[in-house]
Chain A
Amino acid sequence: MKILVCIKQVPDMESKFKVDGAGTWYDTGDLAWRMNEYDEYGVEQAVRLKEQVGEGDITVLCIGSDKVKETMKKALAMGCDRGLHVSDDDVSAREPLQIASVIAGFAKDKGFDVIFTGMQSQDRGSGQVGVLTAEILAMPSITTIVDFAYDGGTVTAKRELEGGIKAIVKVAVPALFTCQLGLNKPRYPTLPNIMKAKKKELLSVPVADLLEADARQQTVKLYFPEKKGGGLVLEGDAPDLAAQLVQILKEKTTVLS
């Protein structure tokens, strides 16, 4: 069984962010970096799938500068067999279609049975890369999975939908899955595995070798939400106020369905 898991290196979300000079991304200086949380579920599921089937090869793919190799090492230490680093110092300037085209460019002739990606990245959060990759590869994709069961070529996945509803989908591999919180609890890499990760293959390929798509969208502006004023004052008599309040609760919150 051949498995591909795509990960992204993102900043620690506890960091203090600043908008960069161009105003289109955050300043990447002075940040602590780690694996995108949703991608951790993908790595964990890939390793569990290999353990279940008893054989297989897991490739972890990541796009970015040399710095991302540190995060790839964690994926290798969790149980991926080899790494493919797509060297791209400008990765934050790429839009989702371009990222998907790079991944598809690598994956197209490799015969992967299962591809895992995160549901979205914690920084850009477009939620598109997994689905676009599957479309380019003409492969079915199942998004926001919170359960994954493989049995002889068929995957039964549980998807999380709006309002907490779950949907069960069955699909024959090859297929791509985007992973959501609740899918699994990622393992801590053990120390012996951290030491072994050093010896696993980690190839670097320049992004120009794989990138085929031109950008169709661009980030115009990145900014902090403007601080609004305090509360909202409602006017009117009691029944009127009650009606306004219920309307606001219905439209602006999830307190009333």
Chain B
Amino acid sequence: MKFELSEEQSLIRETVRDFAETEIGPSAAERDEEERFDRELMFDSLAELGLTGIVFPEEYGGAGADYISYAIAVEELSRVCASTGVTLSAHLSLGANPIYLFGTEEQKQQFLTPLATGEKMGAFGLTEPAAGSDAGSTKTTAVRDGDDWILNGTKIFITNAGEAETYLVLARTDKEAQKHHGISAFIVSKETDGFSFGKKEKKLGIRSSPTMEIVFENCRIPGTNLLGAEGEGFRVAMKTLDGGRIGIASQALGIAQGALDQAVAYAKERKQFDRPITAFQGVSFQLADMATQIEASRLLVYSAAYKASAGLPYSQASAMAKLMASETAMKVTTQAVQILGGYGYTREFPVERMMRDAKITEIYEGTSEIQRLVIGNSLTR
């Protein structure tokens, strides 16, 4: 078992880190303050680097790299801007990957390739006002009409909404079926009649990433946009979230690492009582704990990523990675604010933004409670 990155993975880390620090980092605080998404910076430039389809085969416009490379890319972006990290993660894992996993060859050519090349952006519509953790309670409906489907319903908290061109939407196709049975997955394009956008959420963190409500009112889509078999939607969603969890775990990891780097740099410079505060074990012990938890999280992320690329089952691994990395991010960023003290509480330093960004990683793509459910079930089945 090699605990070393390959040369390609090392070069990917160096490249994305350089790019993130130089191009993305400088505007991160301002974009967060203004709640502004910058598509050219936060998506198009990622496409130019080949990140938007990093794990997909070259035949579909991807880079043909592995999931560890993907994890590295999301981590390095999130280290300076968690909003950019989630833009990529939601696009690739939630928008594009289900089409790769479940799409017909025609659907892959039509929808996957433009997503992989970054010509189009992807998003995922599962959550509803009354269906969060209880995703099986989906109320959005899809009714057959000739060869088409008519969608009605509302999805909320959709990342990349408004900007994305391609949406993966879960809707109930069989009203008689119970709970998570009778749900199907659909590909819906932005300019479709009857598909509109509702309110944009005002959030605690990742404020540069757009989160919106999407609304379907007698929205007609062609039958060829059904993804997977009718009634297979819940399975599509769950498999999609397994991959998405690696993305979010990587985002959380990046946020934590960025906060740790800030805390270490500050603690070395900040002098109190005639010495840098790193001289006090109260501080250095905290940094040690933060670094250890981050490293443990990183290994869980890489383990899940390795399994995903090796074609091994990885639901438990990705749930563990997401659970650990997100809780670590919250702890580490909170501690980083503490280490930076009064300065850490001001917007002049990035750690307060990192702390606000970290919180959502414990919630979306499956709350920490749901991750525990997944892991518990896999142990006790």
Enumerate chain B residues within 8 angstroms of A69, measured Cβ to Cβ.
7
The answer to whether A73 and B49 have CB atoms under 8 Å apart is no
Instruction: Please tell me if B33 contacts chain A, counting CB pairs below 8 Å.
Output: no
Number of A-B contacts (CB under 8 A): 52
Alpha-carbon distance between A192 and B57 when the two chains are bound, in angstroms? 10
Tally of contact residues, B, Cβ under 8 A: 20
Within 8 A of A (CB), among B1-19: 7-8, 10-12, 14-15, 18-19
The answer to whether A191 and B14 have CB atoms under 8 Å apart is no
Alpha-carbon distance between A200 and B21 when the two chains are bound, in angstroms? 29
The answer to whether B58 and A194 have CB atoms under 8 Å apart is no
CB closest chain-B residue, reference A69: B7
Enumerate chain A residues within 8 angstroms of B69, measured Cβ to Cβ.
191
CB closest chain-A residue, reference B6: A198
The answer to whether A191 and B7 have CB atoms under 8 Å apart is no
Instruction: Please tell me if B198 contacts chain A, counting CB pairs below 8 Å.
Output: no
Instruction: Please tell me if B54 contacts chain A, counting CB pairs below 8 Å.
Output: yes
Enumerate chain A residues within 8 angstroms of B64, measured Cβ to Cβ.
192, 195
Instruction: Please tell me if B50 contacts chain A, counting CB pairs below 8 Å.
Output: yes
Determine which of B19, B63, B65 lies in contact with A188 in the assembled complex, contact meaning CB atoms within 8 Å.
B19
The answer to whether B11 and A74 have CB atoms under 8 Å apart is yes
Alpha-carbon distance between A192 and B48 when the two chains are bound, in angstroms? 10
Alpha-carbon distance between A190 and B54 when the two chains are bound, in angstroms? 10
Per-position binary interface string of chain A over residues 160-203, scored 1 when its CB falls under 8 Å from any chain B CB and 0 otherwise: 00000000000000000000000000001111111101100000
Within 8 A of B (CB), among A59-87: 69-70, 73-74, 77
Tally of contact residues, A, Cβ under 8 A: 16
CB closest chain-A residue, reference B23: A188
CB closest chain-A residue, reference B70: A191
The answer to whether A191 and B10 have CB atoms under 8 Å apart is no
Given the known A-B contacts A70-B7, A195-B65, are A188 and B51 also in contact in the complex, defined by CB atoms under 8 Å? no
Alpha-carbon distance between A189 and B17 when the two chains are bound, in angstroms? 12
Nearest-CB distance from B124 to chain A (Å)? 23
Nearest-CB distance from B48 to chain A (Å)? 7
Given the known A-B contacts A188-B18, A188-B19, A195-B65, are A77 and B50 also in contact in the complex, defined by CB atoms under 8 Å? no
Instruction: Please tell me if A2 contacts chain B, counting CB pairs below 8 Å.
Output: no
Alpha-carbon distance between A189 and B73 when the two chains are bound, in angstroms? 13
Enumerate chain A residues within 8 angstroms of B73, measured Cβ to Cβ.
191
Nearest-CB distance from B142 to chain A (Å)? 36
Q: Beyond the given A73-B7, A194-B12, could you list 14 further A-B residue pairs with CB under 8 A, ordered by the A residue number?
A: A73-B8, A73-B11, A74-B14, A74-B15, A188-B15, A188-B19, A188-B49, A189-B11, A191-B49, A191-B54, A191-B63, A191-B69, A192-B58, A192-B64
Q: Which 6 A-B pairs have the closest CB atoms?
A: A191-B50, A191-B63, A190-B50, A192-B63, A192-B50, A188-B19
